[in-house]
Amino acid sequence: MKFPGSVLASVFLFVAETTAALYLSSTYRSGGDGMWQALTLLFSLLPCALVQLTLLFVHRDFSRDRPLVLLLHLLQLGPLFRCFEVFCIYCQSNHIEEPYVSITKKRQMPKNGLSEEIEKEVGQAEGKLFTHRSAFSRASVIQAFLGSAPQLTLQLYITALQQDVTIGRCLFMVLSLLSIVYGALRCNILAIKIKYDEYDVKVKPLAYVCIFLWRSFEIATRVIVLVLFTSVLKTWVLIDILLNFLSFLFYPWILFWCSGSPFPENIEKALSRVGTTIVLCFLTLLYAGINMFCWSAVQLKINNPDLISKSQNWYQLLVYYMLRFIENAFLLLMWYLYKTDIYMYVCAPLLILQVLIGYCTAILFMIVFYQFFHPCKKLFSSSVSESFQEWLKCACCDCRRRKSSESAEKTDLRSPADREETPTSSKISSMPSQILNADELFSA
């Protein structure tokens, strides 16, 4: 049975980040910074509450008679209790033989164009561990993008304003960045397993390394861009954030309304229509939070029973990164034009170049992952490089068509005098031939 390392990593980041947030908020209180203390506690306690609700929802403890579990979650000790429960199940599974097992069928990755179906026995202990891993994966994503991402942005903004970084704040920012990157990594793995649920997906270590580097560069550069822009144009950054957030928040609902599909009722049997609406609103909120800082790796599709689109759309990926790169470059340009004296000793052109190169490095690692290390790359109808080549061909064809249409318009827009010259010249050129024909007739 697989060691539950992902559960241990999730609990460690949860406890470490919460402890660091409480310590840092106490230092802000002793320093008289009430606003920084309030915001630090908000971005720490809000995701804690959402993590507790997620664990209770996935394990369906709301409809079960477990008052002690509910009390522990109310005291924000739910992840610790769940982690203890996971390791108890893991240790007991090696000594107790289970009398009842279930059989699951999965298809292997195609080899030479053929895919075999394999059967696997899954015991009750392994099924419980799978549920725990799934719950902690979702909790890590929620903690990362609804807590750690705004927290990291806040702490880096405070550092830029105060022009000073303490050891506690530095450690807290490192933990927040690790939490975001880990949440993005879990989001990638969840997306792969949901999209290819019928296949036996095995992610190699090099794929994890590639995703980690891709997400680290992407998230770090995005946070730096937002902090730099916020430090010089505080009002305009609210417009940028609201525009980004609301666009991704309402995009799945707009697609759902345009499709004309009925309201989804099969998300959870125990949920009413109101409960289903709340869950869908929360999912779209999380979807918008993820896309604010990085590519979500999934496309939320409300009219789908799995709530995500299982098709691999490279063009949406291309459009997202092109627009995000343009946005980052524009925000950096605005920072360069309106920077204040706090950046007196910063080489602004070099910093802009480094940030843009860092974002391009993230895109490079993303391409390497999808091209070489994606566990289901054999199932792609076309690879990243092939889609990019097709897009370039389409762009070149469009350019040629525009040039040909422009040249045709130029010929149509000639002056009337030029148009009259052509027939007169043809008439003049035909006169010698007519005279020659007359002389031939007379000589004959």
pLDDT of 443 strictly over 80: no
Q: How far is CA 140 from CA 51, 330, 384, in A?
A: 8, 32, 28
Mean pLDDT for 238-260 is: 88
Within 10 angstroms of residue 6's Cβ, the number of other Cβ atoms is 19
Could you report the per-residue pLDDT of 10-27, keeping only the tens digit for each? 999 999 999 999 999 999
Taking all residues of the chain, what is their mean pLDDT, rounded to a whole number?
Answer: 82
Does an H or E element contain 104, and which?
strand 101-107
Dihedral Cα 316, 321, 322, 324, nearest 10 deg? 120
Q: Which of 222, 435, 193, 434 is nearest to 324 (CA)?
A: 222
Instruction: Compute the distance between CA of residue 12 and CA of residue 173 in angstroms, rounded to an integer.
Output: 15
- pTM to 2 decimal places: 0.83
Instruction: Compute the distance between CA of residue 440 and CA of residue 444 in angstroms, rounded to an integer.
Output: 6
Q: Which of 51-55, 97-101, 125-129, 219-223 has the highest mean pLDDT?
A: 219-223
pLDDT of 401 strictly over 80: no
- Look at residue 114 in the predicted model and tell me its pLDDT: 67
Stronger pLDDT, 361 or 283, i.e. the higher one: 361
For 321-386, the three-class secondary structure string (H helix, E strand, C coil) is HHHHHHHHHHHHHHHHHHCCHHHCCCCHHHHHHHHHHHHHHHHHHHHHHHHHHCCCHHHCCCCHHH
Could you report the per-residue pLDDT of 179-210, keeping only the tens digit for each? 999 999 999 998 888 888 877 788 889 999 99
Quick check: 100 and 124 in contact, CB under 8 A? yes
Residue 151, token pair as written in the block: 């927290």
Strands (E), 192-325: none
Instruction: Compute the distance between CA of residue 172 and CA of residue 340 in angstroms, rounded to an integer.
Output: 27
- Look at residue 422 in the predicted model and tell me its pLDDT: 46
Query: DSSP label at 218?
Result: H
Residue 178, token pair as written in the block: 């690790």
Percent of the chain with pLDDT over 90: 35
Among 150-154, 156-160, 304-308, where is mean pLDDT lowest?
Answer: 304-308
pLDDT of 415 strictly over 60: no
- φ and ψ of 407, to 5 deg: -65, -35
Quick check: 281 and 300 in contact, CB under 8 A? no
Quick check: 183 and 148 in contact, CB under 8 A? yes
